[in-house]
Structure 1
Amino acid sequence: MKSEHEFFPADALPWSDGPQAGTAEKILSRDESDPDVLTRLVRWEAGLDTSAAGVIRHEWVEEVYLLQGELHDLTLGRTFRAGEYAARPPGMEHGPYRTAGGCVMLEIRYRSAAAKLRP
């Protein structure tokens, strides 16, 4: 289960290096027993291109809301902008991405109940 927090000023948290070069993150809440389960703000630097990593898939549910900037999906040939939202079930292919001007997004990850029941 994610850690408990009452309202707090997320802007007061420092940015730390993200898991990928060119990214920074603010972890808002995390499940210490399952570090992939978290809620965070993620900032991508201008010019970041994830095409070398290829298409992305993961084992958790992911919800993403773009707060600032833009994100171009190289597979779909579409650019997504602030105010747009994505919900991805485990295993859903997405990306790779490129951002010309950078972006900030809210990312929420969790395990689905159906995935927990699978052997």
Structure 2
Amino acid sequence: MIMAKPEFEFSPTSAVPFTPCNPPIDGLSEAILARNEEDGTVTRILKFEPGTDTSPNGALRHDFWEEVFIFEGSFVDQRLNRTFRAGDWATRPPGMEHGPWVSEHGAKMFEVRYTQADASETGA
């Protein structure tokens, strides 16, 4: 049985410290709001400082779902040559290629990462 993320009532996000992401990129940090240590699901705020460039990591792909909402600032997706701004959102299934990004003025986004059991695991 998979355990859920911990239970929290409303708390100020300002009380959650930002720490470097893994792998580290200068100017990129995260505030982990909730994490399930068993399956790696995470709710976080991702912060790009002005001038952050994630090119050293290249394009990303991962084995989990990811939903992202930009609530402050903007960044340029270098692969797509498109700018995404506050109010934009994305839903990325496992394996979807995305990034790298450059943020001239900085950005913050709310992100939820989760896994989804297939029908054979749920009995559906």
Cα distance, 1:81 vs. partner? 0.3
Q: CA RMSD in A?
A: 1.6
Match of 1:99 in 2: 103
Q: AA paired with 1:23?
A: L
| Residues 1:50 and 1:116: Cα distance change in structure 2 (over 3 Å) | farther
Aligned residues of 2:55 and 2:100 also touching (Cα < 8 A): yes
**Which stretch shows the higher mean deviation, 51-60 or 11-20?**
11-20
Cα distance in 1 for partners of 2:120, 2:11 equals: 31
Match of 2:45 in 1: 41
Residues in 2 aligned to 1:57 and 1:29: alpha-carbon distance in whole angstroms = 22
Report whether the alignment pairs 1:8 with 2:6.
no
The one-character-per-residue Cα deviations of 1:16-42 (angstroms, maximum 9, x if unpaired) are 22222221211111002123x100011
CA separation of 1:31 and 1:75: change in aligned 2, threshold 3 A = same
Provide closer, same or farther for how the CA distance between residues 111 and 98 of structure 1 changes in structure 2, counting only shifts above 3 A. Answer: same
Structure-1-length-normalised TM-score? 0.89
SS at match of 1:113: coil
Identity of aligned residues (%): 46
1:32 pairs with 2:37: yes
In structure 1, the residue matched to 2:81 is 77
Q: What is the number of residues matched between the two proteins?
A: 116
**TM-score (normalised: structure 2):** 0.85
Kindly state the Cα deviation for residue 94 of structure 1 after the two structures are TM-superposed: 0.7
Deviation, 1:14, is 2.2
TM superposition shift of 1:71: 1.3
Alignment gaps of 5+ in structure 2 = none
Which has the higher mean CA deviation after the structures are superposed, 4-13 or 65-74? 4-13
Structure 1: 5+ residue stretches without partners: none
Q: Distance in 1 between matches of 2:110 and 2:85?
A: 13
